[in-house]
Amino acid sequence: MSTQMTKIFGDENEVMETLMKESPEIVFPQPGTLIEGTVTDIHKNKILVDLGGITTGIIAGKESHDSHNTVEELKPGDKISAYIIESENPDGLVVLSLRRASQEKSWKMFVDAYEEGDVIQATANEANKGGLLLEVDGIKGFIPVSQLAPMHYPRVNGADSNLILKRLQDLIGKTFDVKVINVDHDNGKLILSEKAAMREQREKSLGKLKVGQKIKGEISGIVKFGIFVAFNGLEGLVHISEIAWGHVKDPAEFGKIGDQVEVLVIGIEGEKISLSMKRLVPDPWVEAAKTFKIGTIVEGEINKITQFGAFMKLNDEINGLIHLSEITDEQIEDASSVLKVGEKVKAKIISVDPDEHRIGLSIKALTEKPKKNDKKDKEEDKADENKPEKEEEEK
């Protein structure tokens, strides 16, 4: 070979080496990784993707559906990221998945949120007696009942599991602000907490809260012993004795879950907050002291019977007590043996204590004969005894 020919081939080799060095590295599809590509064709449930001019990928069937419904907006020319399932199928195409790609991104998002302590949003799509469940791209999340914020915590009488489930089912479809508090890599499961997401807000709100402060909130639970009210990430209890000035038989008569109410903060012990509804309205017992006087005869309806007597309704807010000993002259052990709820009776007011919110009534006082003056009575009796003798002498 001539020197000239050697020089030509040598130059070509140098050019090829330069081109090889300057050209982008060829990346061959590796199963289990993500790859970028360009959509070239969409036909029914099949999407063809150009993978950098090296080869072609295919996305078909369930693998074309992800949580974002990407396939519905795809068109030729769009850039997409897909998960590689197989490097080559019998047709020589790389098998890809939008579903798995979305799952990988979602899992990364959850893990990053866990590691950074970020607040994310999650939508419940199922409920059981233990809490709320959700699923995103095959990743399962769970919000235990204990990790729900006050507004969503299912407070029910007697911790009835069926009532708890019903309350939780009402939350299906709702989006929550949550923190990831546990990650199960092996099974692709997460434990989420709405309460943890609100911890910072709760601490700030609690730090600013003062006794005597008026608060606007939302009824978050109604039980036999009172009404729970949620506000600013916190929750307090209006005890049954603080709902109204009069006798409260059923707290449910004073509101329903979700109602907006105004309450007064009357106590703070750690995270335990005591509230009052009745103290925001005038105390009717102040006026009662002026209206109901000892010795006055009143008429009203028996609205409650207890082991120590019966309560009579004097007006919408005031009840008077007829003690067992004041019902009848006879000794009785059960007020219901003489009186019935709903029965209208008359009674005499025998005591009024506005400070203790008590009015004492007596039925038997209405039938008692007035006591006579002992000295006068004796003189009248003696006169009556002597009268026949005197009349006899006059005869």
pLDDT tens profile 293-340: 999 999 999 999 999 999 999 988 888 999 999 999 888 889 999 999
**CB 229 within 8 Å of CB 236:** yes
The pLDDT tens digits of the residues spanning 171-201 come to: 999 999 999 999 998 888 899 999 999 988 8
Share the mean pLDDT of the chain: 85
Tell me the mean pLDDT in the region 208-222.
Answer: 94
Q: What single letter denotes the amino acid at residue 87?
A: S
CB atoms within 10 A of CB 5: 9
- Residue 103 is predicted with a pLDDT of 85
Taking Cα atoms as reference points, which of 230, 232, 255 lies closest to residue 151? 230
Q: Indicate the pLDDT class of residue 68, thresholds 50, 70 and 90.
A: confident
Helix or strand (DSSP H, E) at 272: strand 272-276
What DSSP character marks residue 228? E
Is a pLDDT exceeding 70 seen at residue 92? yes
Whether the predicted pLDDT of 168 surpasses 80:
yes
> Domain-by-domain residue ranges, the chain?
37-103, 117-197, 210-280, 284-366
Q: Which CATH architecture best describes the domain 117-197?
A: Beta Barrel (2.40)
Look at residue 376 in the predicted model and tell me its pLDDT: 53
Planar angle of CA 330, 331, 333, nearest 5 degrees = 135
Tell me the Cα Rg of the chain.
42
Give the class (CATH, top level) of 37-103: mainly beta
Same fold, 117-197 and 284-366: yes
Question: pLDDT confidence of 1, banded at 50, 70, 90?
Answer: low
Q: How confident is the model at residue 158 (pLDDT cuts 50, 70, 90)?
A: confident
CATH topology of domain 284-366: OB fold (Dihydrolipoamide Acetyltransferase, E2P) (2.40.50)
pLDDT value of residue 32:
86
Answer yes or no: is pLDDT of 395 > 60: no
Q: Does the domain spanning 210-280 belong to CATH 2.40.50.140?
A: yes
